[in-house]
Amino acid sequence: MKPRLDFHPRWHTAWQGHDIVVFRNGLEVDRIHASDIRRVIFVQSGEFLTAGDLECAVVELDDQFVVFPADTGFAGRVHFERQSFWDSRACIYWVSGCSGSLPSDCMRRRGFTFLRRVPRYARIERTRLAPVVESWCLEGPQTWDERRWSRIKSQRPFTNSIAASINAPDTAH
**Residue 49 and residue 11: Cα distance in Å, rounded?**
24
% of the chain with per-residue pLDDT over 70:
76
* pLDDT tier for residue 168 given thresholds of 50, 70 and 90: very low
Q: Does 171 have pLDDT greater than 60?
A: no
Strands of 11-16's sheet, edge to edge?
11-16, 19-24, 27-33
pLDDT(35) > 90: yes
Largest separation between any pair of C-alpha atoms in the chain: 91
Q: How far apart are CA 1 and CA 22, in angstroms?
A: 27
Domain boundaries, the chain: 11-154
Overall average pLDDT of the 72-76 stretch? 87
Closest CA to 119 of 71, 48, 79: 71
Q: Using one digit for the tens of pLDDT, what is the confidence trace for 86-95? A: 888 999 999 8
The pTM (predicted TM-score) of the whole model is 0.78
